Chains A and B, each alone.
Chain A
Amino acid sequence: MGDKISIKNLNFYYGKNQALYDISMKIPEREVMAFVGPSGCGKSTFLRVFNRMNDTIPYARVEGEVKIDGKNIYKTKTDVVALRRKVGMVFQKSNPFPKSIFENVAYGIRINKMHSGKKDLADRVEKALRDAALWDEVSDRLNTSAFGLSGGQQQRLCIARALAVQPEVILMDEPASALDPIATQKIEELVVELKKKYTIVIVTHNMQQAARISDKTAFFMLGKLIEVNPTEKMFTNPDDELTEDYITGRFG
């Protein structure tokens, strides 16, 4: 399979502080790539490079090249709104809007004017909710507030909201860290299901989770990419000693 995202010599700065050092790697299409590493090593920063969410921080600066489908997304002409539609994001803390379940999912469809009428909108919302494995639980209360859902359901609602704009890549920043084991398992099953259609990059602190759901794993430390390899190799026979130490829990 081809590479969806390719990163070359990426450096990232928060003002004077460098957060990422000379990172080069490729993220294959329709696979799950897991980012692991100790807290503060730059996983979230790196993830937010792919949909240019770091643009909201005025003192942040990017150097190097990030290509998605062969196009450098940091070229001056890049349409950031279109980029973010193509590269969806799910956050650590679920963050539904103060709207109904239906309107949460419909939001992205509406602002991007993707629907051709009421019926089409409803169909798209249903499809996104089904893809997020939430439809059966909410189909009878679509017009009630999203805050009435459980934490795990709210997170799947946020996934549905991201799916509704038909992205090609989904970035997930510790999407299950605030959830109980059962809700976490549902999200994991969902990720495995979603990779049939989407390229997924997921940040996690949970090594077992990375081992269970990812095809490739990248290990970071202090802003540097230490190793990226197929997950199986990473967890059985890593190239780097640091990786082994981290995975076996000798530090971090």
Chain B
Amino acid sequence: MAGTGTFADRVFRSVLIVLSSTVILIVVSMVAMMVWTSLPTIRMFGLEFLYSGEWQPASNVFGALPFIYGTIVSSLIAILIAVPISLGIAIFLVEQAPKSISSPAAFLVELLAAIPSVVYGLWGIFVLAPFIRNYLGPFFQDYFGWLPLFQGRLTGFGMLTGGIIMAIMVTPIITAVVRDVLEVVPNTQRDAALALGATKWETTLIVLQNASSGIAGAVVLGLGRALGETMAVTMVIGNSPQITASLFEPAYTIASVLAANFGEASDRLYLSALVEMGLVLFLVTFVVNALAKVLVLGVAKGTNAASKA
């Protein structure tokens, strides 16, 4: 390829190469910056940083476990709630609803994804948190209070509130991707099932099987988004670095602790600890998103094979 074409072509090519290498450079420099800045805590605590639960910035003790725990658990809650809802909406939009309903409904769902995070946070503070404090929490404590999951003080701000807010935020994303992968399932698959006497529901199962790896990709993509979500969660999760079984107790996530404490972290070691957590979050979301990409790309190829077959 190199050296072919006119002078203008070569200039154009060079410009493109420079531009695309810039993106890679930015990522590399980001990682380098984070590794460099977090060297003090990496040297001082090593791997213990990841599994120690002590977090006392005042006495220079830094263990990231409560934040890792909070990030993972709140994201899992979000996924657990968001996935069934998203699947339901996507199946309804693609398999059930007439065009006249499904197009505007899909548009509305996509609009939800455009609402700024801080607005979700406000809604969480003024609507969701009081609802959990006054209704949902007491209900669960009355009937399932013997489970450690539902014990503890009810402030309305805690792990569950954070998880629910995130669920609402990732639902439009998962729904949109699942809708896309369901739509590329060839109609010949639906016809095949129907012609054998399948009901609407049995036909939908065949469609879901055709789309399975794309759906897995959508879920992982949602997980990636939940892991990195900052603003709304910071506003409702209670921001307390503790590890408890209770869903109602306050918790903390990596993204939240970074956002909330960066300004006051004047101390070099404190700063280093925060940045090292940022590094951990970056690596985890990077892997999760890469996995999602592979899965969603796989489904495009898979259904191509099915339609060519």
Q: Which residues of A contact B (CB under 8 A)?
A: 51, 53, 56, 58, 81-82, 84-85, 88-89, 91, 93-99, 107-108, 111-112, 146-147, 151, 154, 158, 161-162, 165
Contacts of B101 in A (CB 8 A): none
Contacts of A95 in B (CB 8 A): 186, 188-189, 191-192, 306, 309
Which positions 106-121 of chain B face chain A at CB distance < 8 Å? none
Interface flag for B209 (CB, 8 Å): yes
Contact residue among B197, B206, B306 (Cβ-Cβ distance under 8 Å from A85) = B197
In whole angstroms, how far apart are the Cα atoms of A8 and B296 in the complex? 50
Known: A97-B209, A147-B309. A91 touches B196 (CB 8 A): no
Interface flag for B202 (CB, 8 Å): yes
Tell whether, in the assembled complex, residue B197 and residue A98 are in contact, meaning their CB atoms are under 8 Å apart.
no
Q: Which of B190, B192, B197 has the most CB of A within 10 A?
A: B197
Contacts of B261 in A (CB 8 A): none
Interface flag for B11 (CB, 8 Å): no
Interface flag for B305 (CB, 8 Å): yes
Interface flag for B42 (CB, 8 Å): no
Contacts of A56 in B (CB 8 A): 190-191, 194
In whole angstroms, how far apart are the Cα atoms of A90 and B209 in the complex? 21
Known: A95-B188, A99-B209. A82 touches B197 (CB 8 A): yes
Contacts of A51 in B (CB 8 A): 195
Tell whether, in the assembled complex, residue A93 and residue B305 are in contact, meaning their CB atoms are under 8 Å apart.
no
Contacts of A98 in B (CB 8 A): 209-210, 302, 306
For B195, give the chain A residue with the smallest CB separation.
A89
For B205, give the chain A residue with the smallest CB separation.
A111
Tell whether, in the assembled complex, residue B306 and residue A162 are in contact, meaning their CB atoms are under 8 Å apart.
no
Tell whether, in the assembled complex, residue B197 and residue A112 are in contact, meaning their CB atoms are under 8 Å apart.
yes
For A80, give the chain B residue with the smallest CB separation.
B197
In whole angstroms, how far apart are the Cα atoms of A151 and B308 in the complex? 9
CB distance from B183 to the nearest CB of A (A): 16
CB distance from B237 to the nearest CB of A (A): 41
Q: Which of B188, B194, B206, B307 has the most CB of A within 10 A?
A: B194
Q: Specify the main secondary structure of chain B where it touches its partner.
A: helix
| A108-B196, A147-B306 known, 9 other contacts, Cβ within 8 Å | A81-B197, A93-B188, A95-B306, A96-B309, A97-B189, A107-B196, A112-B197, A147-B309, A161-B196
In whole angstroms, how far apart are the Cα atoms of A112 and B194 in the complex? 12
Known: A95-B189, A98-B210. A154 touches B195 (CB 8 A): no
CB distance from B293 to the nearest CB of A (A): 21
In whole angstroms, how far apart are the Cα atoms of A198 and B44 in the complex? 80
Interface flag for B98 (CB, 8 Å): yes
Interface flag for B198 (CB, 8 Å): yes
CB distance from A44 to the nearest CB of B (A): 11
Interface flag for B103 (CB, 8 Å): no
CB distance from B212 to the nearest CB of A (A): 8
Contact residue among B195, B210, B306, B307 (Cβ-Cβ distance under 8 Å from A88) = B195
Q: Which of B186, B196, B202, B302 has the most CB of A within 10 A?
A: B196
Q: Which residues of B contact A (CB under 8 A)?
A: 98, 186, 188-199, 202, 206, 209-210, 302, 305-307, 309
Tell whether, in the assembled complex, residue A84 and residue B194 are in contact, meaning their CB atoms are under 8 Å apart.
yes
Contacts of A158 in B (CB 8 A): 192
In whole angstroms, how far apart are the Cα atoms of A95 and B196 in the complex? 12
A-B complex: 8 closest residue pairs judged by Cβ atoms: A108-B196, A95-B188, A89-B195, A85-B197, A84-B197, A95-B192, A81-B197, A147-B309
In whole angstroms, how far apart are the Cα atoms of A154 and B210 in the complex? 17
In whole angstroms, how far apart are the Cα atoms of A81 and B305 in the complex? 29
Contacts of B196 in A (CB 8 A): 84-85, 88, 107-108, 111-112, 161-162, 165
For A56, give the chain B residue with the smallest CB separation.
B194
Contacts of B194 in A (CB 8 A): 53, 56, 84
CB distance from A41 to the nearest CB of B (A): 21
Contacts of A111 in B (CB 8 A): 196-199, 202
In whole angstroms, how far apart are the Cα atoms of A146 and B198 in the complex? 20
CB distance from B100 to the nearest CB of A (A): 10
CB distance from A75 to the nearest CB of B (A): 18
In whole angstroms, how far apart are the Cα atoms of A241 and B194 in the complex? 39
Q: Which of A93, A99, A146, A161 has the most CB of B within 10 A?
A: A93
Contacts of B306 in A (CB 8 A): 95, 98, 147
In whole angstroms, how far apart are the Cα atoms of A82 and B196 in the complex? 9
Q: Give 27 A-B contacts (CB < 8 Å), ordered by A residue.
A: A51-B195, A53-B191, A58-B98, A84-B194, A88-B195, A95-B186, A95-B188, A95-B192, A95-B309, A96-B192, A97-B189, A97-B206, A97-B209, A98-B209, A98-B306, A99-B209, A108-B196, A111-B197, A111-B202, A112-B196, A147-B306, A147-B309, A151-B309, A162-B195, A162-B196, A165-B196, A165-B197
Contacts of B206 in A (CB 8 A): 97
For B211, give the chain A residue with the smallest CB separation.
A98
CB distance from B192 to the nearest CB of A (A): 4
Tell whether, in the assembled complex, residue A84 and residue B202 are in contact, meaning their CB atoms are under 8 Å apart.
no
CB distance from B106 to the nearest CB of A (A): 18
CB distance from B255 to the nearest CB of A (A): 38
